[in-house]
Amino acid sequence: MNTLDSELLRTFLAVAGTGSITEGGNLIGRSQSATSLQIMRLEEVLGRAVFERTGRGVSLTETGQRLLPVAREVTGRLDGMLRELTSDDLRGKLRLAIPDDHGRARLARILGAFVQSHPQVELEVTCSLSTEFPGMLRKGLLDLAVYEVETPEPGEEVIHEDPTCWVASHHQDLLAVDPVPVALFDRACWWREAAIAALEARGQPYRVVFSSQSVSGVTAAVEAGVAIGLLGRSSAGPHLKVLGDGLGFPEMPVSRLVIGTSGQADATVVDAMKSAIRSAFQG
């Protein structure tokens, strides 16, 4: 006998909420193919389609519309019971900052895991450009933050490392352009400083044609063939080519993602959040 698995319902809700198989999968930490298989399994159980595929994504069928409130109620009650059975008595307030370049899927996992285990802790979350986070910690405006550095300072815990490299589109020979078009971050940060130092040392004239506050903005410019850019290797997919030493681009620094704290928050609350962040970034 077929049954409605709660994981199928969660996948259904994620896709329904985003209107996209890919975005829904990102929200729950699944690949596009795994998410599609979950939706197919749900439709097999029901014997009816829950989504209509469109050029822009997916939309609910009549069956999907009928299932939506039930799925919300079922998963909500399950989550509520789990919180009730597994939560602790930890209390307090935590001001947390997460860089927006590391995706809402990770942020959702961090918050979901923490709130489930510690529902009585009040969270105040900032999600923005991380270059400002160390200063906010020093000023006491944040209790805990995740941000990128080249060289960690004492007290900063490294949770992820990503070598940086120069990349370009496969479809454009931008190194033949004079001056070479470059995409950079538009705020003072070690990434921008390292990029400019490498360009100056290379000796070929360059021109900044695109500036962005985010990794996604620089990536978009490179993918479009507008400019070359300095990115983490994790952001340089197979559709981009790495510009190495043979083209005058030396080995670049490693970006290290760290957890920093202000030292003013409740240590027990901070340790609990650190554990949730480690699981999200290393799991």
Domain extent listing, the chain: 6-86, 92-150+257-282, 161-252
Q: Model pTM greater than 0.75?
A: no
Cβ-based neighbours of 116, under 8 Å, separated by 6 or more: 79, 82, 83, 86, 87
Structure tokens given for 112: 């979901």
pLDDT of residue 169 exceeding 80: yes
Fold agreement (6-86, 92-150+257-282):
no
Report the CATH fold assignment for 161-252: D-Maltodextrin-Binding Protein; domain 2 (3.40.190)
pLDDT band at 229 (very low <50, low <70, confident <90, very high): very high
The predicted-structure confidence for 53-78, as pLDDT tens digits, reads as follows 887 789 999 999 999 999 999 988 88
Report the CATH fold assignment for 6-86: Arc Repressor Mutant, subunit A (1.10.10)
CA 87/CA 102 separation, integer angstroms: 27
pLDDT, residue 114, reads 85
pLDDT band at 161 (very low <50, low <70, confident <90, very high): confident
pLDDT of residue 247 exceeding 80: yes
CB 275 within 8 A of CB 144: no
Q: What is the mean pLDDT of the chain?
A: 87
Give the whole-number percent of the chain exceeding pLDDT 70: 95
Structure tokens given for 160: 């992820």
Count the neighbouring beta carbons within 10 Å of the beta carbon of residue 237. 11
Q: Which amino acid is at 182?
A: V
Structure tokens given for 215: 């990794």
pLDDT, residue 89, reads 73
Whether CATH 3.40.190.10 fits 92-150+257-282: yes
Report in angstroms the alpha-carbon separations of 248 from 175, 198, 199, 202, 251: 10, 9, 9, 6, 10
pLDDT band at 84 (very low <50, low <70, confident <90, very high): low
pLDDT, residue 35, reads 92
pLDDT, residue 128, reads 78
